[in-house]
Amino acid sequence: MMNEVSLTRLYVLRAMYLLVVVGLALSLWPGVFASKKPFSAWEFFRGVETSMMAAFWLLCVLGIRYPLQLLPVLMWELLWKTIWLIAVPLPLWLNGTLDDKLLPNVFAIGAVILVYAAIPWSYVYRHYIKKQGDQWRKT
């Protein structure tokens, strides 16, 4: 199964996981460790977001070792970021009302273009679209 994707593409995927690991290590963990409030006292959505991003970080750490097996994690990132870009800043930009305060987020989330480039799309097609799914019941 591993020879379906070139070694170069596997290293590109590993680099993508590593980029996420380093990026979140620099942006997520300092806020967690420097927080004056205990985690249980955080605002609900901040706690949810932090927990989800920490789980994503851990899965990306595993993705460095198992780049193809953890591919759905990168696909999840690709999907939520694409949906957000289409649903939030695009309509504002089309209406001429995109706020300058939102631009850093647009650029940060817009880096999802790197995920599009890293994913081996022929592998995704063969394994997630063309391949028969797992059975639903005993035959």
pLDDT in tens, 32-79: 767 666 666 668 877 788 888 889 999 999 999 999 999 999 999 999
DSSP H stretches of helix in 34-126? 44-65, 71-87, 89-95, 103-110, 113-118, 121-124
Length of the chain: 139
* Top-confidence residue, 88 or 42: 88
pTM of the predicted structure, to 2 decimals: 0.84
What pLDDT score was predicted for residue 90? 96
* Top-confidence residue, 27 or 90: 90
Q: For the chain, give the percent of residues with pLDDT over 70.
A: 91
How high is the mean pLDDT of the chain?
90
